[in-house]
Amino acid sequence: MPLADGAPATAQQTNGVDDAPVLEVEGLETVFDTRDGAVHAVNGVSFHLRPGELLGVVGESGSGKSVTMMSALQLLPSPPARRTGGMVRFRGQDVDAMTPKAMRRLRGGEIGFVFQDPMTSLNPVFTVGFQIMEPLRKHLRLSKPEARKRAAELLAMVGIPSPEARLNDYPHQFSGGMRQRVMIAIALACEPGVVIADEPTTALDVTIQAQIIELVKDLRQRLGAAIVWITHDLGVIAGIADRVAVMYAGRIVEEGPVLEIFEDPRHPYTRALLETMPHLEGDRPQRLRTIPGQPPVLMETPVACSFAPRCPHAFDKCLAADPRLEPCGAAGHRVACWWTPPEAETEVPA
Ligand SMILES: Nc1ncnc2c1ncn2[C@@H]1O[C@H](COP(=O)(O)OP(=O)(O)OP(=O)(O)O)[C@@H](O)[C@H]1O
Ligand SMILES: [Mg+2]
């Protein structure tokens, strides 16, 4: 459902100055100070996002997907969270050096955040209409009637029936899936240049999920918005992402163009994640597989490969030294792993 007509501006079509990254994260490190010690939740994460690009972020529960994005935008309460390293730039500007006013503009209008848990991010004491209209009035300076009209359009756009009337309702009067859609409407309200969507469609049924995906695709095409889409669902990623970052133990362990990740996965963890993807074999759905073993407890900065204890290919070096992300395979493909899959062993380095 398009917001309006306009020329497409995808990542492939932008170039030169326009192609400069909108969001750059370099060496991000974040710990949580707990009674048991510091939990190293983000351990040197670097990535960039270009206009119109959709970066899929995947990884098991606890791998640091949400914390990475929230830490980058200073959305974590401190204490217990503490940034211990790294640099974040939005349109070339150091986010850490921004004034509180610039930071509010960034978070309220220029970057739209769809949080994983809609109930904690919607305010129970204000109507849904008020919560959608507030950023429209503050950041786009719309009048009250204009903001109300736009808010109803946004609710209609995310598939909420009788949008006009629902503007007067409070969050508890909406179902879980509807609250998630309201969150999406708020995140998209100011037509932001960057959308960070943390498991945006997990609680939604497949029809609504497909609608939301179409909506986000449209925003990206029309406005050149760049999107970070965090999910467990590799199927969704396969359908919408340009690039994929695979996270494990607070690190990106593999990153690359989406086709490359699906056709030539290099990290044993990525390979295991792909094997856990449900798919139909014959007429019978296959049993959902899981990766054996547990993710590590992040009480120390890793000195060896964090995946080694669960890895079927681990050898001496994996327990002695922590691999860094290094180029492999096709352009833009990087992996942090000492092991080389047999099919890639004869590859001539680029
Ligand atoms: N308040 C906190 N105190 C201590 N540790 C925390 C806190 N919040 C998060 N963590 C730790 O940070 C790590 C990363 O958590 P994060 O929520 O980013 O995972 P995730 O990849 O988003 O998982 P999920 O898929 O379940 O959403 C986890 O090990 C988690 O236990
Ligand atoms: Mg999360």
Q: Quick: pLDDT tens for 302-327.
A: 788 999 999 999 999 999 999 999 99
What per-residue confidence (pLDDT) applies to 18? 63
Question: Which residue puts its alpha carbon closest to atom 18 of ligand 1?
Answer: 64
Is 62 a pocket residue for ligand 1 (Cβ < 6 Å)?
yes
**Res. 208: pLDDT tops 50:** yes
Q: How far is the CA of 64 from the centre of ligand 1 (A)?
A: 6
What does residue 266 show for φ and ψ, rounded to 5 degrees? -105, -35
List CB contacts of 260: < 8 A, sequence separation 6 or more: 329, 330, 332, 333
Question: Model confidence at 348, in pLDDT bands (50, 70, 90)?
Answer: low
Cα within 13 Å of Cα(330), Cβ side: 12
Q: How far apart are CA 155 and CA 186, in angstroms?
A: 9
* CA separation, residue 20 to residues 17, 90, 156, 349 (Å): 6, 11, 34, 27
Taking alpha carbons only, the member of 134, 144, 77 closest to residue 109 is 134
Q: Are the C-beta atoms of 153 and 109 separated by less than 8 Å? A: no
Ligand 1 pocket test, candidate residues 29, 31, 32, most atoms within 8 A of CB:
32
If you ran DSSP here, which 8-state letter would residue 75 be given? -
What does residue 55 show for φ and ψ, rounded to 5 degrees? -100, 120
Give domain limits for the chain: 16-276+288-338
Sheet hosting strand 251-257, strand order edge to edge: 111-114, 194-198, 226-230, 54-58, 243-248, 251-257, 334-335, 326-327
Q: How far is the CA of 96 from the centre of ligand 1 (A)?
A: 22
**Res. 10: pLDDT tops 50:** no
Q: Which CATH class is domain 16-276+288-338?
A: alpha beta
User: pLDDT tens for residues 117-142?
Assistant: 766 678 899 999 999 999 899 888 99
Question: Model confidence at 4, in pLDDT bands (50, 70, 90)?
Answer: very low
**Res. 3: pLDDT tops 70:** no
What per-residue confidence (pLDDT) applies to 281? 52
- Token pair, residue 171, equals 């969050």
* CA separation, residue 324 to residues 93, 321, 328, 344 (Å): 26, 9, 12, 18
Higher pLDDT, 15 or 306: 306
Ligand 1 pocket test, candidate residues 34, 66, 198, 230, most atoms within 8 A of CB:
66
- Token pair, residue 177, equals 């899936």
Q: What stretches of the chain show up as alpha helix (H) in DSSP?
A: 65-72, 100-105, 118-121, 128-139, 144-157, 163-166, 176-188, 206-223, 234-240, 258-263, 268-275, 316-320
Tell me how crowded residue 90 is: count the other CB atoms within 10 A of its CB.
23
Q: What is the mean pLDDT of residues 158-183?
A: 89
Q: Average model confidence (pLDDT) for the chain?
A: 85
Residue 59 alpha carbon, nearest atom of ligand 1 = 21
Question: Which residue puts its alpha carbon closest to atom 4 of ligand 1?
Answer: 32
Q: What is the mean pLDDT of residues 211-239?
A: 83
Q: How far apart are CA 115 and CA 113, in angstroms?
A: 6
DSSP H or E segment with residue 256: strand 251-257
List CB contacts of 254: < 8 A, sequence separation 6 or more: 244, 245, 246, 261, 265, 266, 267, 269, 270, 325, 334, 335, 336, 337
